[in-house]
Structure 1
Amino acid sequence: MNGWTRRGFMAGLGLLALAPRMAAAQQAAPAGFDAEALVAGADLGGAVGWAVIDPASGQLMAERQADGPMAPASTLKAVTALYALDRLGEGHRFATRVIRAGNTLILAGGGDPVLDTDALDALAAATVADEQAAGRAAPTALAVWGGALPRIGRLDPAQDEHLPYNPSISGMILNFNRVHLDWRRGDKGYQLSLQARGRKLSPRAYTASVAAVDRALPLFTYEAGKLESWTIARRSLGKSGSRWLPVRRPELYAGDVFQTLCRARGLALPNPEVIEILPEGVEIARHESPELRRIVRDMMEYSTNLTAEVIGLAASRAGDTAVSAASMADWLRGQGIAGDFAFHDHSGLSPRNRVTARVLAQLVAGPGAARGLRGLMKTIPLRDAQGKRKQSDIAVEAKTGTLNFVSNLAGYAQRPGGRELAFAILTGDEPRRAASEGQELPEGVTGWTKRSKTLQQALIEGWVGEFGAPAIATAAPELEGRP
């Protein structure tokens, strides 16, 4: 079971199953803070639910509306992380290959979600070196294959076209399928450029174009023709700036950049073409991604939607996102976690996803604790009333989740030497979320989200103060010695 012991896993599930009964017998009402007063003071409207569990014993420490299904947003990535690690293995790597098939050179994507321009340059260098060493004639065709994963036009069609966190997916991925737009105003107007920006190299992206147009709105327009053609509202630009734009033709984008990188090393290649079937040939160069655990850790820190979708699709080997998300839900039930939940993607971007605070807390306390999920989560600093990071001995490692009028947090909290707490806090105003769907920053959402985060912190500090003393062993005797 990839590092789990069967005894520990089954005992953990048994303790989680006992949690409601243990809570009824052992839970004491918090005396040091008034959780309901905090909820009222946050003035969020909608629903506020939470569940707090002691992972060591399975004891339910606190709950409020814990079984109400709500939008998980990016806290769903905690489920995706554990699902992918379990199905693929922590050491799994994604390979991008270059194959020679007769006179055709093939760039074959293997679904690497973190391939960037610098890594592609290393692959180009290895390709050119092999071609030169073998003394072959220059290829007469450059093909790009992305069939290792299904091709998906947009993660969420309801989101705006220009949002960089809503890109397209295929088995060929470069720079998270984003292109970097940079603009500066000069004497003759605006100079705009689109680049395949890496950490060191930033070649021009020839498969996309951008133009500034004299208008106020819309901010961007997109049209797919021979090129991916963008326009941007000139009145919004200011003196200079930059941002990422999504790529909708990832195979051609990667092939174009690969062609540029090879040309810089002396190998001239034809323009890339997309192929649907990968022919047999000889592999002449390969790049492998970091191990999956590192990819997952970065995904949890930066909340990268594309990475979540890719590793989820790779884990399920499904032909589309809906089937893949349903497979992940079945996997979660197989971990002994029951409840009202439904998944429609792996990133949490879809507003149709639903989960309960109890389900998330059980995931964190059970399979998450067994798999070392805490070490993959981002440190969440506690802040004072002015928003500045404050001195506190409470360590919080958790996953955030944010949509318009949705703000969630799920993870672990602990004081040095004290009891570790696994928690999930879900807050959401569904009518306001639905009314603002597709808007990048609707009116009122900034203040609402700030109040939610303030509430989350106050709850965590209260729970650690009340329940965070060193735990007393409470393992159920009847579980001892079970296989």
Structure 2
Amino acid sequence: MPRRLFLGTLLAGFARPLLAAAPASSLRPRLRPEGLGAEEATPAETLLAEAGVTGISSFALARVGDAPNAPLLESHAPEASLPPASVGKCLTALYALEVLGPKHRFATRLMATGPLRNGRLDGDLILVGGGDPGLDTTDLAGIAARMKSAGLREVAGKFYYHGSALPEARLIDASQPDHLGYNPGVSALNLNYNRVHFEWKPEGGKWRVTMEARTKKYRPAVQIASMQIADRSSPVYTYADRGGRDEWTVSREALGKGGARWLPVRRPAAYAAEVFATLARSGGLVLKTPEPLRQLPQGMTEIARHESPQLGEIARLMLRYSNNLTAELLGLSATTRASGRPSSIPASARAMSQWAAERYGLSGVAMVDHSGLGDASRFPTEALVRMLSAPGVSQRLQPILKDVVLMDEQGRKVSRPGLTVVGKTGTLNFVSGLAGYADSRAGGSYAFAILSGDVPRRDALSRAERERPRGGRTWTARARRLQQALLLRWSQVYGSA
């Protein structure tokens, strides 16, 4: 078969059979004149058939820097609209970096509404959130220490907290089980990734239970979240929203010999304010019970503040550790800067999707959040690759993506692979994705995306089944093996380019 005809068939996504004159067995890719290719690369359609991944698998590969409408180098079902899971964080990172800038910092401020005289504040004290995703108890303690250094010893007025600069939500995705720490509440004032540390230990024939805003240095107990042990076998956890507090119960049978885990906080701004009041009290300043404040008054003065690292570093950590709260805050902050405070997370996600369409000409992108946690989000692989390969995008994203190790069929690390790969993974139940960049030893640079999803199988799960569904691990393992197989193929075919 002429080389041009074979490649045309390959690039069409293997949707049509070979011409009748073709041999019965598949031809192996032959070396191209420009040096691309490897004689032993397994055809992509064979890899798809052998993977055993139910549902739809889609992939696309493009050369970075090619014209926006240049043909994809390889693809299969590139228009398939699948949930991107955490791969969608690539769009969120790009959105935030372009709208806010890589040097942007988030500030948490302690403000006063009156004069400070002889250690007494004749007015109210307000803890104001600025959308910092990484603020923790140690940072709050630093604000409290700076407040003390400023001479504040008494507050005549009230103690308020303000988390309304961004939309507030009790959770990111309502379809997830209640107790999952990666699905917390969201506001402009957040603490410890909006998680509370639940620990249980046997003590004197009973259980000692603590709920703390824990960091390495501080362990203040909290009242906004409580835990009771219940005499039942299942469910392991129950949650109730009562009187402005998170009330949890846990099955006694599930406690074992002791342990700990992080639980989500549904009222993050109130949580942060309670912890700050505790830290202030330990420094000698007793504040009144924290109260929410929706609108900031005019004429405030700043007493102390904490600033986050630069956005470029925050985005790198988000892509590396895939923190959902960070993604939501970056996306919400970018939308607020670009077009004003959105009404909700979904509204902001729609604005981000529209930005992607206008900025990069992407079609079919429909995100319902900024983290990919909601399975109603859709992101075609071709659109994802077109974004990654667009001019200037690789300079922003490639340095902050995580290294991807190439593995052979036996799960062993490939020595001296033809491509160096960085990427972002994404996983939901019966959804798996990987997207990023691959650089050849000879200097060629490629953008790729691989998404697999068995959406009907995921939709059939009950809410309780979504933490550990039957067959989920096996399906995910097969999807990841397919990703590795395609990367290995591309390493062989394009590794010398």
Matched, 1:435 2:447: no
- Report the residue type matching 1:100 in the other structure: A
CA positional deviation for 1:468: 2.3
Matched, 1:112 2:112: no
What residue is the counterpart of 1:447 in the other structure?
474
Matched, 1:285 2:304: yes
Q: In 2, are the aligned partners of 1:105 and 1:139 still within 8 Å (CA)?
A: no
Pairing 1:64-213 to 2, within 5 Å after superposition: 64-102=76-114, 103-132=123-152, 137-213=154-230
What residue is the counterpart of 1:461 in the other structure?
488
- Report the residue type matching 1:247 in the other structure: V
What residue is the counterpart of 2:57 in the other structure?
48
Distance (whole Å) between structure 2 residues aligned to residue 196 and residue 382 of structure 1: 39
SS class of match (2:277): helix
What residue is the counterpart of 1:410 in the other structure?
435
CA positional deviation for 1:279: 1.9
SS class of match (2:364): coil
| Residue 311 of structure 1, aligned match among 316, 319, 330 | 330
Distance (whole Å) between structure 2 residues aligned to residue 423 and residue 248 of structure 1: 37
- Cα 1:201–1:94 shift into 2, 3 Å: same
Q: Normalising by structure 2, what TM-score? A: 0.85
Matched, 1:33 2:42: yes
- Report the residue type matching 1:104 in the other structure: D
Q: In 2, are the aligned partners of 1:140 and 1:269 still within 8 Å (CA)?
A: no
Q: In 1, are the aligned partners of 2:86 and 2:371 still within 8 Å (CA)?
A: yes
- Cα 1:268–1:333 shift into 2, 3 Å: same
What residue is the counterpart of 1:424 in the other structure?
449
What residue is the counterpart of 1:236 in the other structure?
254
- Cα 1:387–1:268 shift into 2, 3 Å: farther
Distance (whole Å) between structure 1 residues aligned to residue 287 and residue 353 of structure 2: 45
Q: In 2, are the aligned partners of 1:72 and 1:426 still within 8 Å (CA)?
A: yes
Distance (whole Å) between structure 2 residues aligned to residue 187 and residue 294 of structure 1: 46
* Structure having the larger proportion of residues in helix: 1
Q: Greater CA radius of gyration, 1 or 2?
A: 2
What residue is the counterpart of 2:373 in the other structure?
349
Distance (whole Å) between structure 2 residues aligned to residue 184 and residue 381 of structure 1: 39
Q: In 2, are the aligned partners of 1:124 and 1:262 still within 8 Å (CA)?
A: yes
- Cα 1:36–1:122 shift into 2, 3 Å: same
CA positional deviation for 1:368: 6.1
What residue is the counterpart of 2:286 in the other structure?
268
Distance (whole Å) between structure 2 residues aligned to residue 83 and residue 107 of structure 1: 28
Gaps of 5+ in 1: 1-22, 471-483
Pairing 1:293-332 to 2, within 5 Å after superposition: 293-317=312-336, 318-332=342-356
Distance (whole Å) between structure 2 residues aligned to residue 26 and residue 306 of structure 1: 40
- Cα 1:208–1:26 shift into 2, 3 Å: closer
- Report the residue type matching 2:238 in the other structure: T
Gaps of 5+ in 2: 1-6, 13-26, 30-40, 115-122, 337-341
Distance (whole Å) between structure 2 residues aligned to residue 142 and residue 388 of structure 1: 58
SS class of match (1:191): strand
CA positional deviation for 1:357: 0.8
RMSD of the TM alignment (CA)? Answer: 2.0
- Cα 1:436–1:229 shift into 2, 3 Å: same
Q: In 1, are the aligned partners of 2:94 and 2:393 still within 8 Å (CA)?
A: no
- Cα 1:356–1:182 shift into 2, 3 Å: same
CA positional deviation for 1:26: 11
- Cα 1:369–1:282 shift into 2, 3 Å: closer
- Cα 1:124–1:74 shift into 2, 3 Å: same
CA positional deviation for 1:54: 0.8
- Report the residue type matching 1:183 in the other structure: W
Q: Which moved more, 1:175-184 or 1:226-235?
A: 226-235
Distance (whole Å) between structure 2 residues aligned to residue 301 and residue 399 of structure 1: 8
Number of residue pairs matched?
A: 445
SS class of match (2:187): coil
- Report the residue type matching 1:130 in the other structure: A
- Cα 1:211–1:383 shift into 2, 3 Å: farther
CA positional deviation for 1:384: 5.0
- Cα 1:187–1:391 shift into 2, 3 Å: farther
Q: In 2, are the aligned partners of 1:167 and 1:246 still within 8 Å (CA)?
A: yes
- Measured against aligned partners, the alpha-carbon deviations of 1:251-290 in whole angstroms (never above 9, x if no partner) come to 2210111011111212122221112121232111111111
- Measured against aligned partners, the alpha-carbon deviations of 1:413-462 in whole angstroms (never above 9, x if no partner) come to 23433422210001011111111253111000001101111110110010
